[in-house]
Amino acid sequence: MTARFEIARLGAHGDGVVDANGGHIFIPFALPGETVTAAREKDRAQLLAVIEASPQRIEPACRHFTECGGCAIQHLEDRAYRDWKRGLVAHALKARGIETAVGELVACPPHSRRRAAFTARNTETGMHLGYNKAFSHTLVDIEECPVLLPAIVEAAGTLRHLAGIISNTSKPFRFLVTATESGFDVAASDCGKPTEAIRRAATDFVIKSKIARLSIDGEIIVEPVKPMLTFGTATVTPPTGGFVQAVGEAEQAMASLVTGHLRKAKKVADLYSGSGTFSLRLAANSEVHAVEGDAPALAALDRGFRFASGLKRVTVERRDLDRRPLTFKELNAFDGVAFDPPRAGAEDQCKQIARSDVPYVAAVSCNPATLARDLRILIDGGYALKSVTPIDQFLWSHHVEAVALLEKPKKRR
């Protein structure tokens, strides 16, 4: 049904929200205060035309906007955009009864994202490499991307050709590209089992193109040079397809907040440590015990520490913290705790932290809702929330990172 709508506000996913009888209607790419026409289907509608535009509407930065599913909100002017992103964190905290000032959004510039999760597909018309169209499985070939590092965009032809070499399926497959300090780290999955001919052709092409590493479904096919990332003074080779912070500037901003807060701690537990994003920086000042469930990530962290110089002792422990969190008695051996869990958060671990006597805690999260839940647990356990800083690691999307810093007064003996 096509109708005219008045947009009341922006929703949590960047959609324009219409307050309708009996509920809400969500219209992507519409802004508050606008009058639009849209084709409605249940609680969603497809924008057809903007009749009265918001004064905050601007020209999008990319020709693919509204087609490519990567960005939700390039059409909102910068100040309003920052306020909306900051508000995502503030509203999540308020929903948990946490009344606190949320810091200004730490912005990340365009052309700064070093990791791209492309979709690739080999068709009768050739190899396609890009992102799925918003709300569909249609693949949009990428000709430009103002979010990604220019080096990735400039190499689109090379990457597309490599995807064509390794493709042994007619189905779409994942093609993850990370720009490291020694070259591209390419991790493909679900592209079909590589034949010997595919392996030889891919190896020749990777070497010729000066790509650092190619892996398929976790198996390294060729690694002319080790992909390297620097965490503080240590260099690390991340595992194939492993977690890496998407934007270097955002990583540095988060690390500065975490290390600054824990600077007085002699011994720090870094939980959900990954490959050492925080551990290896914290080790410049403190002894660190890094705990992580992923064995390859933990091995990468350990290697990075062993080949670094000038760091205090770093120990590692493989442990599924969701199933077996560090207990409050174990945590009491530390002066500081940092944790950076997946989107589901660290509920059970936070229940143990809340019972502990650890004076300094730094919480990093990519999900405001689970962060707010976890902070509520810590606050109810006696922690004082000192600051919350939102960080725009995921430019023009509805995702936002945040770092929360907490302290617990020492008990009088």
Closest CA to 234 of 337, 315, 316, 310: 310
Measured CA to CA, the distance from residue 319 to residue 301 in angstroms comes to 15
Q: What is the DSSP letter of 216?
A: E
With 0-12 CB in 10 A as exposed, 13-18 as middle and 19+ as buried, what is 38?
buried
The position carrying tokens 């990519």 is 366
Distance CA 213, CA 203 (A): 10
Longest dimension (CA), the chain: 75
Annotated catalytic sites, by residue?
A: 366
108 touches 392 (CB < 8 A): yes
Site of tokens 């080779």 = 237
Indicate the DSSP class of residue 412. Answer: P
CA proximity to 166, closest of 139, 142, 188, 140: 188
How would DSSP label each residue in 104-158?
PPB---SS-B-EEEEEEEEETTEEEEEEEBTTSS-EEE-S--SSB-HHHHHTHHH
407 DSSP β-pair partners: 360, 384
What single letter denotes the amino acid at residue 227? P
Q: How many angstroms separate the CA atoms of 224 and 205, rounded?
A: 11
Specify the 3-state DSSP secondary structure of 81: helix
Residue 340 counted as an annotated binding residue: yes
Q: Nearest CA to 348 among 328, 318, 369?
A: 328
| Residue 253 · residue 391 · CB < 8 Å | yes
- 272 annotated as belonging to a binding site for a ligand: yes
According to the annotation, is 292 in a ligand binding site? yes
Give the strand pairing for 9-10 and 2-6: unpaired
- Rounded to whole angstroms, the Cα distance separating 287 from 267 reads 5
The angle that helices 347-355 and 368-380 make with each other, rounded to 10 degrees, is: 20
Q: Which residue in 2, 13, 15 sits closest to 49, CA to CA? A: 2
251 marked ligand binding residue:
no
Which residues are part of a known binding site for S-adenosyl-L-methionine? Answer: 245, 272, 292, 340
